[in-house]
Chains A and B, each alone.
Chain A
Amino acid sequence: MRLHPLDRKLVRDLWRMRGQAFAIALIVASGVAVLSSSLAVVDALSETTRGFYERHRFGDVFASATRAPRSLAARIAALPEVQAVDARIVEQATLDVAGFADPIIGALVSLPSGGEAALNRLALRAGTLPEPDQPDAVVLSEAFAEAHDLVPGDVLHALVNGRRRALRVTGIALSPEYVYAIGPGTLMPDPRRYAIAWMNPSALEAAYDLDGAFNDVVLALGRGADTNAVIRALDTLLAPYGGTGAIARADQLSNWFLMNEIQQLRRMAGILPTIFLAVAAFLGNMVLARLIATERAEIGLVKAFGYGDATVAWHYAKLVLAMAGLGVLLGWLAGWALGRWTTVLYAEMFRFPTLYYTPGFGPFALSAGVSLAAALAGALGSARRAAALPPAEAMRPPAPPAYRRAGALSDLLRRVLEQLTRIVLRQLLRWPLRALLTSAGIAASVAVLIMSFQWLDALDHMIGSFFFQQQRQDVTVSLVEVHPDTVRNAFARLPGVLAVEAQRAVPARIHAGHRVRREAVVGLPEVSALHVLEDAGGNAITLPPDGLVLSSALARRLGVAPGGHLVVEVLGGARPVLTLPVAAVFETWIGTPTYMRLDALNRALGDPPVVNTVLLRVDSRELPALFAALKATPATGAVTLRRAAVDSFNASIAEHMHVFIAIYVLFACTLAAGVSYNSMRISLSERGRELATLRVLGFGSGEVAYVLLGEAALLVLIGLPMGCGLGLALTQLISSSFETELFRIPPVIEPSTYGIALIVASLTAVACGVLVRRRVARLDLVAVLKTRE
């Protein structure tokens, strides 16, 4: 195939400008990679979730109670719009795996005797479901089984309502209910310390005195059902049996995390690619403007031959499209790989039978469309200018750019600076917008660097304030039921215990007008040495004698402020409904906690001084003995370790974060390199003649490079502080748009983070400078001077 001569020119132009073209392509590729991978992962997660939920009949409404008779299940099933009901027993027990000292929390979930559940059906990965005559047979959650190398046939032990039982593993499974499986009081999945064990109901009925009864129910509703109406009806039915309030699928813990993650990914797909594509559009425009300036004569000639304006404009637009097109292809490859890798990471955190990563046409088409449109938008002005050049004028050389003195600044220049520096400064003042945009490009890269490195600061800050500043206890023991406050004394006598404090957590529905939230109200002692209340700024919070202290995230969601009142519908016990004042609001990074003085809480509930959570500070050398003792203490419900919580937090977030940071740093460097390399190359091309003249006049190549690189350095220097400001803004934007009910990313930026970002961006610019410096040394003095501009 023979290319049209104009297209051949295009190919050669591209080849000649390959360095610049490649730099622009890489920036486009970064944007495309982030956009397409985020969208592809969103697709993968959503599709996988939808498929898993559908095939395994994930429920629509979930509720638990203390003890409801089996016969109630039929009445629930008879509620309007209810399609299926699965009434079951869910209890919590401490598990024991040989060779693992830490306490393991196990959720024991009953399966219909010898059969499959109607809802939340298991995806069996190995082995079989228990036979009806196997009361001690269990199916284990896959993550836990993997973490402890358990396979069907293995045996583990459980402390079921105070009695130690041997459980034989018959199968390994996944459930739509536990895609994101976290134990009570933890934030991250910890598969070594949290297990789900499905078993026949007989053993659980006997152990928990639930013969002919259930304590947990899952409902499937018809399409378009009024979930809230069903929840109200269900609550009414369960109320006499200790119902703790039904929740919709959206609030189901595992699903809630999953949906949050998908939403975050969607937001990520919006913010970063915008930055990259905007910079790419600007660079495309700059390169094209320069090319058109050098090709005025050719443009005139081509038009004199009779080519139309549109042909000329399209010719130059194609050049930018080709650069962006290369970027799109590279971005697709990188995006595909990045998406795949991210999906694999998600597969560790979210347990699906198969996580389908089969990115559809959509994310790739969208990212390509957006990038090419951005590139075209950037090219538009220059291409139109090229088309608008009248042939005769185009063939005349352009007038020398008109510089002028800048008033007072000029006098300063005159007095202080030598000529080379004046050249540098006047160049900037001559094209202030271009200079500003170049600096803004550098600033954007600094901002992305700050944002990336800031994740570590945020993590440190969150872990530091949540796990170390506020929680001074090493071990948290939730008790099976409330105990008199004096239970502390019993725990104080356990091996290795140095300090004991007790709290009471009460599940409640908190109402503010029509807004409702489920939250535990935690009663704390007036003075607590182990649970130190601090706001996000590290200021101590003193609990008032009466009233609630809310996290600001919860206050925002409920729309209340200090001085207002909330209706607290206690879920459990006699289900009293209390009206309590909001005494204070404080900022937190993790969770949406609600606190109250323990004595006030007990008083409000009409209870004597009772507690259901014990905090322990312990001598770490005595931990194994303590664990053994705790496992043998009937009052013990769940035991969580701060160390394990921090470890799992780090393991699931920090590890992967390093890789993500590395990728984003790479993208940011691409940005810095693309901007500084292109601006230097364009400057070199515009001023090659001037620089050669300086060489002829006797300036050394170092001095000449100073003129070129001095300008670039100045633009970088202007861009760096701009980048710090922009980085702060970007961090705040990310922090606010990534806010979930679980986390708010603290927009804290350590000075060292600014420092590292500035150093990385500067080094990138210096590396580009070195590349361009070599070209200055190779300037062909004779050729440059002989040709007319």
Chain B
Amino acid sequence: MPAVRPEPERAATLSGRDLVKTYHVGDVDIHALRGVDVDLLEGELVVLLGPSGSGKSTLLNILGGLDTPTSGEVRFRGRALAAGGERGLTRYRRDHVGFVFQFYNLVASLTAEENVALVTEIAPAPMAPADALALVGLETRLDAFPAQLSGGEQQRVAIARAVAKQPDVLLCDEPTGALDSVTGVKVLEAIAQVNREIGTTTAVITHNAVIAGMADRVLRFGDGRIVETQRNPTRRSPRELAW
């Protein structure tokens, strides 16, 4: 169901200023980010689009506290992420961020429900693991181990695990990259639903331009910079997307 959202009174959940990331690989400097300013607003769904190597994953990792910028600053609700050091970043990830990756990264020795419980046990205000799995349509597969789930199901468990803590930010890096289009749509629906129902600020990385249709805003990346920002007047339902 398409939704029109009024802009721009929403506050920024996450904001990055002048973010630069340079990797030293051997004798070569790779400039992954060359000065990026970005704001993720409260409840917004943003799609980051761009070819591989354009810097979108680097940005997402920095915003999620998995990596630190070479220069520049990330603020979460006004507080600088860098201030708390490694321990602070762990705290930040634990309490505020949910991640979804291309390769689902489930713990093979835990069932679907237990994979979700892994997060709810340490989160301050989690939902019940079963509820989180119901949210992604897996209420009947609670006791299945990853080896017993299809790729799409595994990814949906990963999403349930990411949202079960009711994070402030949900960061998805190529969540459909390893999936066929039908399964991919199911996964995107789950993401959209979480964003809509819980109001989680969500960023989705993809190199699949079709997916951009489900976003409030689309950031196009090229060579370590945001080269274009596009606002969708209406968000399309993932079900309407096909590739």
B114 CB to closest chain A CB, in angstroms?
A: 6
Does B138 make an interface contact (CB < 8 A)?
no
For B123, what are the chain A residues with a Cβ–Cβ distance below 8 Å? 698
A427-B93 contact, Cβ under 8 Å, with A697-B161, A698-B122: no
CA distance A403 to B110 in the complex (A): 8
Q: Is A418 an interface residue (CB 8 A)?
A: yes
Q: Is B76 an interface residue (CB 8 A)?
A: no
Is residue B146 contacting chain A, with contact meaning CB distance below 8 A?
yes
| Known A400-B146, A401-B147, A402-B147: A697·B94 in contact at CB below 8 Å | yes
**Interchain CB contact under 8 A, B110 and A404:** no
Q: How many A-B residue pairs have CB under 8 A?
A: 91
Q: How far does the alpha carbon of A405 sit from the alpha carbon of B148 in the complex, in Å? A: 13
The number of residues on chain B lying at the interface, defined by a beta carbon within 8 Å of a beta carbon of chain A, is 38
CA distance A173 to B142 in the complex (A): 88
Looking at B66, B90, B115, which has the most chain A CB atoms within 10 Å of its CB? B90
Q: Looking at chain A's contact residues, is the secondary structure mostly helix, strand, loop, or mixed?
A: helix
Collect the chain A residues with CB atoms within 8 Å of residue B4's CB.
none
Closest 6 CB pairs of A and B: A698-B94, A426-B109, A698-B93, A402-B147, A693-B105, A419-B118
Q: Mark A395-437, 1 if CB is under 8 A from B, else 0.
A: 0000111111100000000000011101100110010000000
Tell me whether A403 and B67 are in contact in the complex, defined as CB-CB below 8 angstroms, given that A422-B114, A697-B99, A698-B95 are known contacts.
Answer: no
Select the stretch in A162-170, A589-597, A779-787 that faces chain B.
A779-787
User: Cα distance A401–B114 when bound, in Å?
Assistant: 16
Cβ-defined contact, A697 with B93, below 8 A: yes
Whether A427 contacts B109 by the Cβ 8 Å rule is: yes
> Chain A contacts of B111 at CB under 8 A?
405
A211 near B: Cβ within 8 Å? no
B120-159 contact mask (Cβ, 8 Å, vs A): 1 or 0: 0111000000000000000000010111100000000000
Q: Which of B105, B110, B115 touches A689 (beta carbons < 8 Å)?
A: B105
User: When A403-B147, A698-B97, A782-B61 are in contact, do A423 and B90 touch as well, CB less than 8 Å?
Assistant: no
Q: With A697-B161, A788-B103 given, can you name 4 additional A-B contacts, CB distance below 8 Å?
A: A423-B109, A427-B109, A693-B105, A697-B94
A to B CB contacts below 8 Å, 18 in the list:
A400-B146, A401-B147, A404-B145, A405-B143, A418-B121, A419-B107, A423-B107, A427-B109, A430-B109, A689-B105, A696-B93, A696-B99, A697-B94, A698-B165, A700-B90, A701-B86, A785-B103, A789-B103
Give the size of the chain A interface in residues (CB under 8 angstroms): 33
A698–B107 CB distance below 8 A = no
- Residues of chain B with a CB closer than 8 A to A402's CB: 145, 147-148
In the bound complex, residues from chain B placing their C-beta under 8 Å from that of A418 are: 121
B119 at the interface (CB under 8 A from A): yes
When the two chains form their complex, are residues A699 and B94 in contact, meaning their CB atoms are under 8 A apart?
yes
A400 close to B118 (CB less than 8 A): no
Q: B221 on the interface (CB 8 Å rule)?
A: no
Q: Does A695 sit at the interface, judged by CB under 8 A?
A: yes
CB-based contact B107/A690 at 8 Å: yes
Complex Cα spacing A420 to B122, Å: 11
Contact B61 A698 (CB under 8 A): no
Does B108 contact A696, Cβ atoms closer than 8 Å?
A: no
Known contacts A400-B108, A785-B105; A419/B121 CB under 8 A: yes
- Whether A422 lies near B109 (C-beta < 8 A) is yes
Min C-beta distance of A587 to chain B, whole Å: 53
Q: Is the CB of A694 closer than 8 A to any CB of chain B?
A: yes
Q: Are B118 and A694 interface neighbours, CB within 8 A?
A: yes
Contact assessment for A786 and B57 in the assembled complex, using a CB-CB cutoff below 8 Å: yes
Closest residue on chain A to residue B57 by CB atoms: A786
Question: Which residues in chain A, 649-696, are within 8 Å of chain B measured between CB atoms?
Answer: 689-690, 692-696
- Separation in Å of the A538 CB from the closest CB of chain B? 53
Q: Are B94 and A693 within 8 A (Cβ)? A: no
Residue in B66, B95, B108, B117 whose beta carbon sits within 8 Å of that of A419 in the complex: B117
B122 touches A403 (CB 8 A): no
Asked if B94 contacts A690 (CB within 8 A), the reply is no
With A402-B145, A698-B119, A781-B66 as contacts: A693 and B107 at CB distance below 8 Å: yes
> Smallest distance from the beta carbon of A395 to chain B beta carbons, Å?
16
CB neighbours (8 Å) of A700 from chain B are 87, 90
Contact A399 B90 (CB under 8 A): no
B67 / chain A contacts, CB cutoff of 8 Å: 781-782
Q: Using a CB-CB cutoff of 8 Å, which residues 747-789 of chain A contact chain B?
A: 781-782, 785-786, 788-789
Q: How far is the CA of A694 from the CA of B97 in the complex (A)?
A: 13
